[in-house]
């Protein structure tokens, strides 16, 4: 076990997820970059599996990806992913973005992240999909 993993386990002994490798600077490691195509099947899966409101705190780097996606406003699909009447909110608080994402806005945000040219944004979309039990490569 590496020193980094041991330190993280000491800091977070009750953590649900166990680290298996050193963190990677995603923006600089395009070898493992595997974009995926957003589909109607993914949209339907997200709508079926996402909670009514998905709560997430994003770090500073992921916040850039999320805000780029959110700040598009209404996109070419005539969809928006920051609709307060649905319950969506994005509040910067103490070096993180406190987010509430409605079930209806979730597929729009994830599609925008998946279409990004930033590997970090695509990996973030994959990570969010994973938390609701969806694999974008098999759905």
Each residue's pLDDT expressed in tens, for the chain with a length of 139 residues:
445 444 444 443 333 333 333 334 444 444 555 788 999 999 999 999 999 999 999 998 899 999 999 998 777 778 888 999 999 999 998 889 999 999 999 999 999 999 998 999 999 999 999 999 999 988 8
pTM above 0.85, yes or no: no
Q: Which strands sit side by side in the sheet containing 89-93, from one edge to the other?
A: 53-58, 96-102, 89-93
Distance of CA 137 to the CA centre of its chain: 16
Residue 60, both tokens: 């500073």
User: 133-136: long-range contacts (C-beta < 8 A, 24 or more apart)?
Assistant: 133/49, 134/42, 134/45, 134/46, 134/49, 136/36, 136/42
CB burial string 103-134: b at 16+ within 10 A, e below: bbbbbbbbbbbbebeebbbbbbbbebbeebeb
């Amino acid at each position: 076990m590496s020193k980094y993993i041991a330190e993280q386990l000491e800091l977070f002994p009750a953590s649900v997820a166990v680290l298996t490798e050193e963190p990677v600077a995603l923006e600089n490691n395009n070898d493992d970059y595997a974009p995926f195509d957003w589909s109607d099947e993914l949209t339907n899966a997200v709508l079926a599996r996402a909670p009514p409101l998905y709560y997430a705190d994003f770090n500073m780097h992921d916040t850039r990806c999320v805000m780029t996606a959110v700040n598009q406003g209404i996109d070419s699909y005539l969809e928006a992913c920051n609709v307060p009447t649905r319950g969506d909110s994005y509040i910067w608080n103490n070096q993180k973005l406190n987010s509430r994402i409605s079930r209806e806005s979730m597929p729009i945000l994830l599609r925008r992240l998946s279409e990004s040219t930033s590997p970090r944004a695509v990996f973030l979309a994959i990570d969010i999909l994973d938390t609701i039990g969806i694999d974008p490569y098999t759905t």
